[in-house]
Amino acid sequence: MKYTSIFTLVLFLIFFTDVSAQLSEKQIDKLVQESIKTFDVPGISVGVIENGKVVYAKGHGVRSLANNKPMNENTLVGVASNSKGFTCFALALLVDEGKLNWDDKVKKYIPEFDLKDKYAANEFTIRDLVTHRSGLSLGAGDLMFFPEGNNYSVDDVIHGVAQLEPESSFRSKFQYNNNMYNIAGEVLRRVSGLTWAEFIETRILQPVGMKNSKGSYNRVNDRSNIIDAHAPVAGTIKQIPHDWSELANPAGGIMSNITDMLTWAEFLMNGGVTKDGKRLISEEQLHELWTLQTPIPVAKNHPYDTNFYGYGLGWFLSDVAGTLEVTHSGGLIGTVTKFTLLPEKKIGIVVLTNQQSGAAFSAINNEIKDSYLGYKNRNWVKKYGDRMDNYFNEVNQEKADVFAQAIAFQSKGCITDKEQIIGKYKDAWLGDIHIVEENKTLRISMDNQPQLKGELIPYNAHTYIAKWDNRSFDADAFLLFNFDENGKSTGFKMKAISSITDFSFDFVDLDIKRVEEKSTDK
Protein backbone atom coordinates (compact mmCIF):
# COMPACT_ATOMS: atom_id res chain seq x y z
CA MET A 1 0.00 0.00 0.00
CA LYS A 2 2.85 2.34 0.90
CA TYR A 3 4.66 1.75 -2.41
CA THR A 4 1.42 2.17 -4.38
CA SER A 5 0.83 5.56 -2.76
CA ILE A 6 4.34 6.78 -3.60
CA PHE A 7 3.98 5.57 -7.21
CA THR A 8 0.62 7.33 -7.51
CA LEU A 9 2.16 10.54 -6.16
CA VAL A 10 5.00 10.36 -8.72
CA LEU A 11 2.52 9.89 -11.58
CA PHE A 12 0.53 12.87 -10.32
CA LEU A 13 3.64 15.05 -10.25
CA ILE A 14 4.60 14.00 -13.77
CA PHE A 15 1.25 14.46 -15.43
CA PHE A 16 -0.42 17.24 -13.47
CA THR A 17 2.46 19.48 -12.45
CA ASP A 18 4.13 21.87 -14.88
CA VAL A 19 7.60 20.32 -14.98
CA SER A 20 9.14 23.33 -16.77
CA ALA A 21 10.19 26.18 -14.53
CA GLN A 22 8.88 29.47 -15.95
CA LEU A 23 11.13 32.47 -15.47
CA SER A 24 10.27 34.72 -12.55
CA GLU A 25 9.83 38.46 -12.89
CA LYS A 26 13.32 39.02 -11.48
CA GLN A 27 14.81 36.48 -13.90
CA ILE A 28 13.23 38.22 -16.89
CA ASP A 29 14.40 41.59 -15.54
CA LYS A 30 17.95 40.22 -15.40
CA LEU A 31 17.63 38.64 -18.85
CA VAL A 32 16.56 41.92 -20.44
CA GLN A 33 19.25 43.93 -18.67
CA GLU A 34 21.91 41.47 -19.84
CA SER A 35 20.56 41.74 -23.39
CA ILE A 36 20.63 45.54 -23.30
CA LYS A 37 24.27 45.43 -22.22
CA THR A 38 25.40 42.60 -24.52
CA PHE A 39 23.74 43.89 -27.69
CA ASP A 40 24.01 47.64 -26.97
CA VAL A 41 20.27 48.34 -27.20
CA PRO A 42 19.05 51.57 -25.56
CA GLY A 43 15.56 50.27 -24.75
CA ILE A 44 13.62 47.00 -24.76
CA SER A 45 10.06 46.26 -23.65
CA VAL A 46 8.90 42.70 -23.03
CA GLY A 47 5.53 41.10 -22.44
CA VAL A 48 4.43 37.56 -21.57
CA ILE A 49 0.86 36.29 -21.41
CA GLU A 50 -0.11 32.88 -20.06
CA ASN A 51 -3.64 31.40 -20.10
CA GLY A 52 -5.16 34.83 -20.64
CA LYS A 53 -3.21 36.46 -17.80
CA VAL A 54 -0.41 38.97 -18.32
CA VAL A 55 2.46 37.63 -16.23
CA TYR A 56 5.06 40.15 -17.38
CA ALA A 57 4.85 43.57 -19.04
CA LYS A 58 7.79 45.92 -18.56
CA GLY A 59 10.09 48.31 -20.32
CA HIS A 60 13.80 48.56 -19.66
CA GLY A 61 16.35 51.17 -20.60
CA VAL A 62 15.43 54.37 -22.42
CA ARG A 63 13.12 55.07 -25.32
CA SER A 64 15.65 57.46 -26.88
CA LEU A 65 19.26 58.44 -26.35
CA ALA A 66 18.14 61.95 -27.27
CA ASN A 67 15.95 62.36 -24.17
CA ASN A 68 16.85 59.44 -21.87
CA LYS A 69 13.19 58.97 -20.93
CA PRO A 70 12.41 55.46 -19.66
CA MET A 71 10.99 52.72 -21.87
CA ASN A 72 7.82 51.15 -20.44
CA GLU A 73 5.03 48.77 -21.40
CA ASN A 74 3.10 51.62 -23.06
CA THR A 75 5.97 53.01 -25.15
CA LEU A 76 4.98 52.99 -28.84
CA VAL A 77 7.24 51.13 -31.25
CA GLY A 78 6.93 50.42 -34.96
CA VAL A 79 6.18 46.68 -35.03
CA ALA A 80 7.29 46.57 -38.68
CA SER A 81 6.55 43.25 -40.41
CA ASN A 82 4.45 42.08 -37.49
CA SER A 83 1.88 44.20 -39.36
CA LYS A 84 1.64 41.45 -41.98
CA GLY A 85 -0.49 39.32 -39.66
CA PHE A 86 -2.96 42.21 -39.44
CA THR A 87 -3.06 42.57 -43.24
CA CYS A 88 -3.96 38.91 -43.63
CA PHE A 89 -6.49 39.10 -40.81
CA ALA A 90 -8.12 42.04 -42.62
CA LEU A 91 -8.32 40.05 -45.86
CA ALA A 92 -9.80 37.12 -43.91
CA LEU A 93 -12.56 39.42 -42.65
CA LEU A 94 -13.45 40.22 -46.25
CA VAL A 95 -13.45 36.50 -47.05
CA ASP A 96 -15.88 35.95 -44.16
CA GLU A 97 -18.08 38.68 -45.62
CA GLY A 98 -18.06 37.06 -49.08
CA LYS A 99 -16.35 40.06 -50.67
CA LEU A 100 -13.32 38.12 -51.91
CA ASN A 101 -11.74 34.68 -51.83
CA TRP A 102 -8.13 33.78 -51.12
CA ASP A 103 -7.83 32.14 -54.53
CA ASP A 104 -9.35 34.99 -56.53
CA LYS A 105 -6.98 36.25 -59.20
CA VAL A 106 -5.31 39.56 -58.36
CA LYS A 107 -6.29 40.85 -61.82
CA LYS A 108 -9.95 40.63 -60.76
CA TYR A 109 -9.33 43.57 -58.44
CA ILE A 110 -6.23 45.16 -60.02
CA PRO A 111 -6.54 44.58 -63.80
CA GLU A 112 -3.24 46.39 -64.44
CA PHE A 113 -1.26 43.98 -62.23
CA ASP A 114 1.52 42.39 -64.28
CA LEU A 115 4.81 40.49 -64.02
CA LYS A 116 7.59 39.55 -66.42
CA ASP A 117 6.33 35.97 -66.14
CA LYS A 118 2.97 36.34 -67.89
CA TYR A 119 1.70 32.96 -66.73
CA ALA A 120 2.39 33.95 -63.14
CA ALA A 121 0.75 37.34 -63.62
CA ASN A 122 -2.44 35.77 -64.95
CA GLU A 123 -2.57 33.07 -62.27
CA PHE A 124 -1.46 35.21 -59.33
CA THR A 125 -4.00 35.03 -56.47
CA ILE A 126 -4.67 36.97 -53.28
CA ARG A 127 -3.11 34.00 -51.46
CA ASP A 128 0.05 34.35 -53.58
CA LEU A 129 0.36 38.03 -52.62
CA VAL A 130 0.84 37.16 -48.95
CA THR A 131 2.82 33.91 -49.01
CA HIS A 132 6.19 34.99 -50.46
CA ARG A 133 6.20 32.64 -53.47
CA SER A 134 6.09 35.12 -56.35
CA GLY A 135 9.32 33.94 -57.99
CA LEU A 136 10.91 37.35 -57.41
CA SER A 137 14.11 37.67 -55.42
CA LEU A 138 14.39 38.40 -51.70
CA GLY A 139 13.12 41.94 -51.04
CA ALA A 140 12.58 42.60 -54.74
CA GLY A 141 11.73 46.25 -55.39
CA ASP A 142 11.99 47.35 -51.75
CA LEU A 143 13.92 50.45 -52.84
CA MET A 144 10.59 51.81 -54.07
CA PHE A 145 9.69 52.52 -50.43
CA PHE A 146 12.90 51.96 -48.45
CA PRO A 147 14.48 54.05 -47.07
CA GLU A 148 11.74 56.65 -46.81
CA GLY A 149 11.79 60.00 -48.55
CA ASN A 150 10.60 59.11 -52.05
CA ASN A 151 7.31 59.97 -53.73
CA TYR A 152 6.31 56.53 -54.99
CA SER A 153 2.63 55.57 -54.98
CA VAL A 154 1.09 52.11 -54.93
CA ASP A 155 0.47 52.57 -58.67
CA ASP A 156 4.23 52.97 -59.09
CA VAL A 157 4.77 49.75 -57.13
CA ILE A 158 2.30 47.88 -59.34
CA HIS A 159 4.13 49.21 -62.40
CA GLY A 160 7.53 48.51 -60.81
CA VAL A 161 7.02 44.84 -59.97
CA ALA A 162 6.20 44.25 -63.63
CA GLN A 163 9.77 45.33 -64.48
CA LEU A 164 11.48 42.91 -62.07
CA GLU A 165 13.16 39.79 -63.41
CA PRO A 166 12.06 36.60 -61.64
CA GLU A 167 14.71 34.67 -59.77
CA SER A 168 12.84 31.37 -59.63
CA SER A 169 9.69 29.88 -61.07
CA PHE A 170 6.31 30.89 -59.70
CA ARG A 171 5.31 29.15 -56.42
CA SER A 172 8.50 27.08 -56.33
CA LYS A 173 10.43 28.85 -53.57
CA PHE A 174 10.02 31.00 -50.45
CA GLN A 175 11.44 34.49 -51.09
CA TYR A 176 10.32 37.19 -48.67
CA ASN A 177 8.61 40.05 -50.48
CA ASN A 178 7.20 43.26 -49.02
CA ASN A 179 5.77 44.79 -52.18
CA MET A 180 3.27 42.00 -52.70
CA TYR A 181 1.88 42.92 -49.27
CA ASN A 182 1.65 46.54 -50.40
CA ILE A 183 -0.35 45.37 -53.40
CA ALA A 184 -2.52 43.26 -51.07
CA GLY A 185 -3.23 46.47 -49.17
CA GLU A 186 -4.42 48.01 -52.43
CA VAL A 187 -6.76 45.05 -52.97
CA LEU A 188 -8.13 45.71 -49.47
CA ARG A 189 -8.69 49.37 -50.34
CA ARG A 190 -10.44 48.67 -53.64
CA VAL A 191 -12.75 46.08 -52.08
CA SER A 192 -13.54 47.86 -48.80
CA GLY A 193 -13.39 51.50 -49.83
CA LEU A 194 -11.14 52.26 -46.85
CA THR A 195 -7.44 52.89 -46.79
CA TRP A 196 -5.41 50.09 -45.25
CA ALA A 197 -4.77 52.11 -42.07
CA GLU A 198 -8.45 53.07 -41.73
CA PHE A 199 -9.54 49.46 -42.12
CA ILE A 200 -6.94 48.15 -39.66
CA GLU A 201 -7.89 50.69 -37.00
CA THR A 202 -11.68 50.52 -37.30
CA ARG A 203 -12.11 46.81 -38.03
CA ILE A 204 -9.28 45.29 -35.93
CA LEU A 205 -7.34 47.53 -33.53
CA GLN A 206 -10.34 49.26 -31.94
CA PRO A 207 -12.66 46.20 -31.64
CA VAL A 208 -9.82 44.04 -30.27
CA GLY A 209 -9.09 46.67 -27.62
CA MET A 210 -5.68 47.85 -28.81
CA LYS A 211 -6.42 51.34 -27.55
CA ASN A 212 -3.10 53.06 -28.19
CA SER A 213 -2.11 51.41 -31.48
CA LYS A 214 -2.28 53.12 -34.86
CA GLY A 215 -2.12 51.98 -38.45
CA SER A 216 0.92 54.10 -39.22
CA TYR A 217 3.53 56.41 -37.72
CA ASN A 218 1.87 59.50 -39.18
CA ARG A 219 -1.44 58.63 -37.50
CA VAL A 220 0.10 58.81 -34.01
CA ASN A 221 -1.04 62.14 -32.56
CA ASP A 222 0.34 61.74 -29.03
CA ARG A 223 4.08 61.16 -29.30
CA SER A 224 4.86 61.77 -25.65
CA ASN A 225 5.76 58.09 -25.17
CA ILE A 226 7.31 56.84 -28.40
CA ILE A 227 10.75 55.49 -29.25
CA ASP A 228 13.44 56.94 -31.43
CA ALA A 229 15.28 54.55 -33.72
CA HIS A 230 18.96 53.73 -33.10
CA ALA A 231 21.68 52.14 -35.19
CA PRO A 232 25.43 51.59 -35.00
CA VAL A 233 27.38 54.33 -36.77
CA ALA A 234 31.16 53.82 -36.90
CA GLY A 235 30.90 51.41 -34.01
CA THR A 236 28.78 53.63 -31.74
CA ILE A 237 25.01 53.45 -31.24
CA LYS A 238 23.39 56.68 -32.43
CA GLN A 239 19.84 57.98 -32.45
CA ILE A 240 18.65 58.20 -36.07
CA PRO A 241 15.47 59.54 -37.72
CA HIS A 242 12.39 57.34 -37.85
CA ASP A 243 12.26 55.56 -41.21
CA TRP A 244 9.08 54.25 -42.80
CA SER A 245 7.14 55.08 -45.93
CA GLU A 246 3.36 55.41 -45.73
CA LEU A 247 3.26 53.50 -49.00
CA ALA A 248 4.41 50.35 -47.23
CA ASN A 249 1.99 50.32 -44.29
CA PRO A 250 0.44 46.96 -45.32
CA ALA A 251 3.92 45.41 -45.10
CA GLY A 252 4.98 47.02 -41.83
CA GLY A 253 3.29 50.23 -40.71
CA ILE A 254 1.60 49.56 -37.37
CA MET A 255 2.67 51.42 -34.23
CA SER A 256 1.93 49.57 -31.00
CA ASN A 257 3.22 48.73 -27.54
CA ILE A 258 3.57 45.78 -25.19
CA THR A 259 0.16 46.34 -23.58
CA ASP A 260 -1.70 46.30 -26.89
CA MET A 261 0.34 43.51 -28.48
CA LEU A 262 -0.44 41.27 -25.49
CA THR A 263 -4.12 42.09 -26.06
CA TRP A 264 -3.64 41.00 -29.69
CA ALA A 265 -1.98 37.78 -28.51
CA GLU A 266 -4.81 37.00 -26.11
CA PHE A 267 -7.42 37.71 -28.80
CA LEU A 268 -5.78 35.38 -31.31
CA MET A 269 -5.32 32.56 -28.80
CA ASN A 270 -8.94 33.02 -27.74
CA GLY A 271 -10.01 32.01 -31.24
CA GLY A 272 -10.63 35.51 -32.57
CA VAL A 273 -13.03 36.46 -29.77
CA THR A 274 -12.60 39.79 -27.98
CA LYS A 275 -12.54 40.26 -24.21
CA ASP A 276 -16.19 41.32 -24.30
CA GLY A 277 -17.14 38.11 -26.10
CA LYS A 278 -17.47 39.38 -29.67
CA ARG A 279 -16.23 37.09 -32.44
CA LEU A 280 -14.50 39.07 -35.19
CA ILE A 281 -13.38 36.21 -37.42
CA SER A 282 -14.73 32.76 -38.17
CA GLU A 283 -12.96 29.72 -36.76
CA GLU A 284 -12.50 28.56 -40.35
CA GLN A 285 -10.63 31.70 -41.40
CA LEU A 286 -8.47 31.81 -38.27
CA HIS A 287 -7.49 28.21 -39.01
CA GLU A 288 -6.69 29.25 -42.59
CA LEU A 289 -4.32 31.98 -41.38
CA TRP A 290 -2.36 29.39 -39.41
CA THR A 291 -2.26 26.76 -42.15
CA LEU A 292 1.05 26.16 -43.91
CA GLN A 293 1.13 27.66 -47.42
CA THR A 294 4.80 27.89 -48.41
CA PRO A 295 7.24 25.35 -46.96
CA ILE A 296 10.74 26.40 -45.90
CA PRO A 297 13.60 23.92 -45.40
CA VAL A 298 14.34 23.03 -41.79
CA ALA A 299 17.94 23.19 -40.60
CA LYS A 300 19.53 19.98 -39.34
CA ASN A 301 19.93 19.73 -35.56
CA HIS A 302 17.35 22.45 -35.03
CA PRO A 303 17.55 23.81 -31.46
CA TYR A 304 13.82 23.20 -30.95
CA ASP A 305 13.67 19.73 -32.54
CA THR A 306 11.61 21.22 -35.36
CA ASN A 307 10.24 18.92 -38.05
CA PHE A 308 8.35 21.40 -40.25
CA TYR A 309 8.70 25.09 -40.98
CA GLY A 310 7.01 27.43 -43.38
CA TYR A 311 4.81 30.46 -43.96
CA GLY A 312 1.07 30.65 -43.51
CA LEU A 313 -1.00 33.76 -44.20
CA GLY A 314 1.01 36.48 -42.50
CA TRP A 315 2.75 34.11 -40.06
CA PHE A 316 5.75 31.82 -39.81
CA LEU A 317 4.64 28.38 -38.61
CA SER A 318 6.62 25.50 -37.14
CA ASP A 319 6.61 22.84 -34.46
CA VAL A 320 8.83 23.53 -31.44
CA ALA A 321 9.34 20.73 -28.93
CA GLY A 322 6.19 19.10 -30.25
CA THR A 323 3.89 22.14 -30.08
CA LEU A 324 2.75 24.67 -32.69
CA GLU A 325 4.60 27.99 -32.87
CA VAL A 326 3.05 30.98 -34.65
CA THR A 327 5.49 33.84 -34.94
CA HIS A 328 6.80 36.81 -36.88
CA SER A 329 9.57 39.33 -36.54
CA GLY A 330 9.77 42.87 -37.81
CA GLY A 331 12.59 45.19 -38.73
CA LEU A 332 12.96 48.84 -39.67
CA ILE A 333 16.14 50.86 -39.81
CA GLY A 334 16.89 51.23 -36.11
CA THR A 335 14.05 49.06 -34.74
CA VAL A 336 13.35 45.32 -34.54
CA THR A 337 10.51 43.37 -32.90
CA LYS A 338 9.38 39.80 -32.21
CA PHE A 339 5.92 38.32 -31.60
CA THR A 340 5.52 34.65 -30.70
CA LEU A 341 2.50 32.48 -29.85
CA LEU A 342 2.39 28.91 -28.57
CA PRO A 343 -1.39 28.58 -29.01
CA GLU A 344 -1.72 25.05 -27.64
CA LYS A 345 -0.02 26.18 -24.43
CA LYS A 346 -1.79 29.57 -24.38
CA ILE A 347 1.58 31.36 -24.22
CA GLY A 348 2.41 34.66 -25.92
CA ILE A 349 5.78 36.46 -25.90
CA VAL A 350 6.38 39.98 -27.25
CA VAL A 351 9.71 41.79 -27.50
CA LEU A 352 9.95 45.37 -28.84
CA THR A 353 13.26 47.21 -29.22
CA ASN A 354 14.65 50.54 -30.41
CA GLN A 355 17.83 49.23 -32.00
CA GLN A 356 18.27 46.93 -34.99
CA SER A 357 19.83 43.98 -33.16
CA GLY A 358 17.78 40.89 -33.96
CA ALA A 359 20.06 38.93 -31.64
CA ALA A 360 18.62 40.85 -28.68
CA PHE A 361 14.99 39.90 -29.30
CA SER A 362 15.99 36.35 -30.26
CA ALA A 363 17.91 35.82 -27.01
CA ILE A 364 15.05 37.14 -24.86
CA ASN A 365 12.36 35.31 -26.80
CA ASN A 366 14.23 32.00 -26.72
CA GLU A 367 15.08 32.14 -23.01
CA ILE A 368 11.44 32.77 -22.10
CA LYS A 369 10.22 30.16 -24.56
CA ASP A 370 12.71 27.61 -23.23
CA SER A 371 11.27 28.00 -19.74
CA TYR A 372 7.85 26.87 -21.01
CA LEU A 373 9.17 24.07 -23.23
CA GLY A 374 11.47 22.45 -20.68
CA TYR A 375 14.84 23.41 -22.18
CA LYS A 376 17.37 24.45 -19.54
CA ASN A 377 20.65 26.31 -19.27
CA ARG A 378 21.09 27.22 -22.93
CA ASN A 379 22.16 30.81 -22.18
CA TRP A 380 20.97 32.41 -25.40
CA VAL A 381 22.39 35.81 -24.49
CA LYS A 382 25.93 34.46 -24.38
CA LYS A 383 25.35 32.24 -27.41
CA TYR A 384 24.05 35.09 -29.57
CA GLY A 385 26.52 37.55 -28.06
CA ASP A 386 29.50 35.39 -29.04
CA ARG A 387 28.00 34.74 -32.44
CA MET A 388 27.43 38.44 -33.13
CA ASP A 389 30.92 39.38 -31.92
CA ASN A 390 32.40 36.93 -34.39
CA TYR A 391 30.06 38.08 -37.14
CA PHE A 392 30.80 41.78 -36.63
CA ASN A 393 34.54 41.06 -36.60
CA GLU A 394 34.14 39.24 -39.91
CA VAL A 395 32.06 41.91 -41.63
CA ASN A 396 34.22 44.75 -40.31
CA GLN A 397 37.26 42.98 -41.72
CA GLU A 398 35.37 42.33 -44.94
CA LYS A 399 34.58 46.04 -45.34
CA ALA A 400 38.09 47.11 -44.33
CA ASP A 401 39.56 44.79 -46.97
CA VAL A 402 37.32 46.29 -49.65
CA PHE A 403 38.40 49.86 -48.88
CA ALA A 404 42.04 48.83 -48.51
CA GLN A 405 41.91 47.32 -52.00
CA ALA A 406 40.38 50.54 -53.31
CA ILE A 407 43.23 52.57 -51.81
CA ALA A 408 45.81 50.17 -53.25
CA PHE A 409 44.21 50.41 -56.71
CA GLN A 410 44.17 54.20 -56.65
CA SER A 411 47.86 54.27 -55.72
CA LYS A 412 48.65 52.57 -59.03
CA GLY A 413 47.34 55.59 -60.93
CA CYS A 414 45.34 53.63 -63.49
CA ILE A 415 41.91 54.95 -62.58
CA THR A 416 39.18 55.07 -65.21
CA ASP A 417 38.74 58.49 -66.83
CA LYS A 418 35.89 60.20 -64.97
CA GLU A 419 34.33 61.30 -68.24
CA GLN A 420 33.76 57.65 -69.12
CA ILE A 421 31.19 57.21 -66.34
CA ILE A 422 29.83 60.72 -65.65
CA GLY A 423 26.29 61.06 -66.93
CA LYS A 424 22.61 60.26 -66.51
CA TYR A 425 21.39 56.69 -66.07
CA LYS A 426 18.03 55.03 -65.64
CA ASP A 427 16.59 51.87 -64.12
CA ALA A 428 13.22 50.59 -65.32
CA TRP A 429 11.62 50.69 -61.87
CA LEU A 430 13.83 52.98 -59.75
CA GLY A 431 14.10 55.77 -62.30
CA ASP A 432 16.83 58.31 -62.97
CA ILE A 433 20.29 58.02 -61.44
CA HIS A 434 23.07 60.60 -61.82
CA ILE A 435 26.85 60.44 -61.64
CA VAL A 436 28.45 63.88 -61.48
CA GLU A 437 31.70 65.50 -60.40
CA GLU A 438 31.62 67.84 -57.41
CA ASN A 439 34.80 69.40 -56.03
CA LYS A 440 36.95 66.89 -57.93
CA THR A 441 34.98 63.97 -56.40
CA LEU A 442 32.57 61.68 -58.23
CA ARG A 443 29.14 61.43 -56.66
CA ILE A 444 26.03 59.36 -57.25
CA SER A 445 22.42 60.34 -56.55
CA MET A 446 18.99 58.90 -57.30
CA ASP A 447 15.97 61.08 -58.10
CA ASN A 448 13.45 58.67 -56.59
CA GLN A 449 15.61 57.63 -53.62
CA PRO A 450 16.99 60.94 -52.33
CA GLN A 451 18.65 59.36 -49.27
CA LEU A 452 20.84 57.23 -51.52
CA LYS A 453 23.54 59.73 -52.41
CA GLY A 454 27.23 59.52 -51.80
CA GLU A 455 30.81 59.46 -52.98
CA LEU A 456 32.10 57.11 -55.68
CA ILE A 457 35.46 55.55 -54.90
CA PRO A 458 37.48 53.67 -57.58
CA TYR A 459 37.88 49.98 -56.72
CA ASN A 460 39.29 48.53 -59.94
CA ALA A 461 39.28 49.26 -63.66
CA HIS A 462 35.53 48.62 -64.05
CA THR A 463 34.15 48.90 -60.49
CA TYR A 464 33.47 51.75 -58.08
CA ILE A 465 32.22 51.78 -54.48
CA ALA A 466 29.21 53.93 -53.57
CA LYS A 467 29.96 55.21 -50.07
CA TRP A 468 26.60 56.59 -48.92
CA ASP A 469 26.48 59.86 -46.97
CA ASN A 470 24.12 58.30 -44.43
CA ARG A 471 26.52 56.02 -42.55
CA SER A 472 23.74 54.40 -40.48
CA PHE A 473 22.62 52.48 -43.58
CA ASP A 474 25.66 50.17 -43.55
CA ALA A 475 24.86 49.58 -47.21
CA ASP A 476 27.85 50.70 -49.28
CA ALA A 477 27.67 49.06 -52.69
CA PHE A 478 29.76 48.10 -55.68
CA LEU A 479 28.94 49.66 -59.04
CA LEU A 480 30.03 47.20 -61.75
CA PHE A 481 30.25 49.13 -65.02
CA ASN A 482 29.97 47.90 -68.60
CA PHE A 483 31.83 49.82 -71.32
CA ASP A 484 31.43 50.15 -75.08
CA GLU A 485 34.22 49.89 -77.65
CA ASN A 486 35.14 53.53 -77.05
CA GLY A 487 35.57 53.03 -73.32
CA LYS A 488 32.36 54.84 -72.39
CA SER A 489 30.09 53.23 -69.82
CA THR A 490 26.81 51.82 -71.11
CA GLY A 491 25.41 51.06 -67.67
CA PHE A 492 26.10 49.24 -64.45
CA LYS A 493 24.83 46.69 -61.96
CA MET A 494 25.07 47.03 -58.17
CA LYS A 495 25.61 44.78 -55.19
CA ALA A 496 26.31 45.39 -51.51
CA ILE A 497 29.95 45.16 -50.46
CA SER A 498 29.02 43.35 -47.22
CA SER A 499 26.64 40.63 -46.05
CA ILE A 500 25.49 42.89 -43.20
CA THR A 501 23.50 45.10 -45.58
CA ASP A 502 19.73 44.79 -45.13
CA PHE A 503 18.09 42.90 -48.01
CA SER A 504 15.68 45.79 -48.55
CA PHE A 505 18.57 47.71 -50.10
CA ASP A 506 17.61 45.82 -53.23
CA PHE A 507 20.60 46.70 -55.38
CA VAL A 508 20.80 43.31 -57.11
CA ASP A 509 17.51 43.81 -58.98
CA LEU A 510 18.63 47.07 -60.55
CA ASP A 511 19.65 47.05 -64.22
CA ILE A 512 20.93 50.56 -64.81
CA LYS A 513 21.42 51.85 -68.36
CA ARG A 514 23.02 55.07 -69.56
CA VAL A 515 20.57 57.64 -70.93
CA GLU A 516 21.97 59.26 -74.04
CA GLU A 517 21.19 62.93 -73.64
CA LYS A 518 20.34 64.88 -76.74
CA SER A 519 23.02 67.22 -77.98
CA THR A 520 22.33 70.95 -77.76
CA ASP A 521 24.68 71.72 -80.67
CA LYS A 522 23.08 73.30 -83.73
- Domain of 37: which CATH number? 3.40.710.10
- Tell me which of 236-245, 259-268, 374-383 is least confident: 236-245
| 40 domain-assigned | yes
Nearest to 416 by CA among 517, 497, 492: 492
One domain for residues 203 and 150 = yes
One domain for residues 83 and 181 = yes
Please state, in angstroms and rounded to a whole number, the distance separating the CA atoms of residues 93 and 89: 6
Q: Domains in the chain: how many in total?
A: 2
| 431 domain-assigned | yes
Tell me the per-residue pLDDT of 468-518, one tens digit each, with 9 for 90 and over. 999 999 999 999 999 999 999 999 999 999 999 999 999 999 999 999 876
**CATH number of the domain to which 444 belongs:** 2.40.128.50
Name the strand (E) or helix (H) holding 158: helix 154-161
Distances (CA, A) of 43 to 22, 33, 39, 315: 24, 10, 11, 26
One domain for residues 119 and 220 = yes
Peptide bond just before 147 cis, omega within 30 deg: yes
| 10 domain-assigned | no
One domain for residues 310 and 183 = yes
| 362 domain-assigned | yes
pLDDT above 90 for 368: yes
Instruction: Read off the pLDDT of each residue in 270-294 and give the average, rounded to a whole number.
Output: 98
One domain for residues 61 and 116 = yes
pTM of the model: 0.93
| 346 domain-assigned | yes
| 110 domain-assigned | yes
One domain for residues 385 and 461 = no
Distances (CA, A) of 42 to 34, 236, 238, 240, 477: 12, 12, 10, 12, 29
One domain for residues 299 and 247 = yes
Structural domain including 442 reads 415-514
One domain for residues 353 and 419 = no
User: Where is the domain boundary, 390, 423, 455?
Assistant: 390
One domain for residues 385 and 456 = no
What's 473's DSSP letter? G
Burial class (CB in 10 A: 0-12, 13-18, 19+), 374: exposed
Q: What is the pLDDT of residue 518?
A: 63
Residues 6+ apart with CB under 8 A from 359: 39, 384, 385, 387, 388
Cβ contact 227:71 at 8 Å: yes
One domain for residues 430 and 359 = no
One domain for residues 479 and 349 = no
One domain for residues 76 and 225 = yes
Cβ contact 297:308 at 8 Å: no
| 16 domain-assigned | no
Please state, in angstroms and rounded to a whole number, the distance separating the CA atoms of residues 188 and 192: 6
**How is 329-383 classified by DSSP, letter by letter?**
EEEETTEEEEEEEEGGGTEEEEEEESS--HHHHHHHHHHHHHHHHT--S--HHHH
What is the percent of the chain with per-residue pLDDT over 70, rounded to a whole number?
95
| 248 domain-assigned | yes
